Structure formats: C-alpha cells, structure tokens
C-alpha cells in the first residue's frame, strides 16, 4: 500500500466549502484507483513549542488544522492517477481555487510499514 498524506490550515469559516471540495475530489481519487480517502477536521490539535501541526502549517487564529490521507494499492498506481487527476477541472486552481492556502499545505508520499 502507498499513502499520500496532507496537513493544511483551513479558514474555520470555510469548513463547509472545504468539505464540499473534498466530497467532490474523493470520487475522482477513487475512480483513478485510490482505495480510500480520509479527511479529518482538527478538534484536539495542541500547539507545540518546538514542533506541532499548527506550527508546521503556520496556523492563524481563525483557522483549523486538517489532516488527510489517500491510500493507494501501489506507488505506480498513485503516480499514474495523479498525472490524470491534474487534468481534472476540479484541480485547476485558476478556475477552482482551494478553500484554503495551498502554499502552507504539507504533503508527502509514504510506503506503509504496518496496517492492522
């Protein structure tokens, strides 16, 4: 399994818009081979002194941390999917901007070590 992980700061007032965006994106990911798509709205995300989710995304007072991940059967399937997904109108930030500051999004791809 391969996992794409994301941490981002979403304006709290944009929760419904972010959820609508995520609900539109999830079926596209699944249509291109994703096994699952998870979106999580932060409710207990402490601010650290050295490291933390809020520090990592430069969280502002009117924002909430979102933690998301997409599982894929393999990196090869994920790579092929992302190439096609970037052609989808939903992901054209010029005509359909994300309801958050994508410049502060942290993301990465991970090989799974343990799945129970």
What predicted TM-score, i.e. pTM, was given to this entire model? 0.91
Q: Which two tokens mark 25?
A: 């994106």
Supply the angle between the helices 15-31 and 75-85 in degrees, to the nearest 10: 120
Q: 68: closest CA among 108, 17, 101?
A: 108
E-only strand ranges, the chain? 2-11, 36-41, 63-72, 106-111
Q: How far is CA 76 from CA 10, 34, 72, 109, in A?
A: 30, 12, 9, 12
Q: Which CATH architecture has domain 2-111?
A: 2-Layer Sandwich (3.30)
Name the β-bridge partners of 108: 5
Q: 93 falls in which pLDDT band (50, 70, 90)?
A: confident
How far does Cα 37 stand from its chain's mean position? 9
Q: State which H helix or E strand residue 49 sits in.
A: none
Per domain, the residue ranges of the chain are 2-111
pLDDT tens profile 17-74: 999 999 999 999 999 999 999 999 999 999 999 999 999 999 999 999 999 999 999 9
Res. 15: pLDDT tops 90:
yes
Is 94 a residue whose pLDDT tops 90? no
């Amino acid at each position: 399994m391969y996992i794409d992980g994301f941490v981002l700061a979403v304006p709290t007032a944009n929760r419904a818009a972010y959820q609508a965006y995520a609900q539109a994106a999830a079926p596209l990911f699944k249509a291109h081979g994703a096994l699952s798509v998870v979106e999580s709205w932060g409710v207990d995300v402490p601010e650290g002194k050295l490291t933390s989710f809020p520090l990592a995304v430069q969280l502002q007072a009117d924002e909430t941390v979102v933690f998301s991940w997409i599982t894929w059967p393999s990196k090869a399937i994920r790579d092929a999917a992302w190439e096609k997904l970037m052609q989808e109108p939903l992901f054209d930030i010029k005509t359909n901007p994300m309801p958050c500051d994508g410049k502060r999004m942290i993301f990465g791809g991970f090989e799974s070590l343990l799945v129970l």
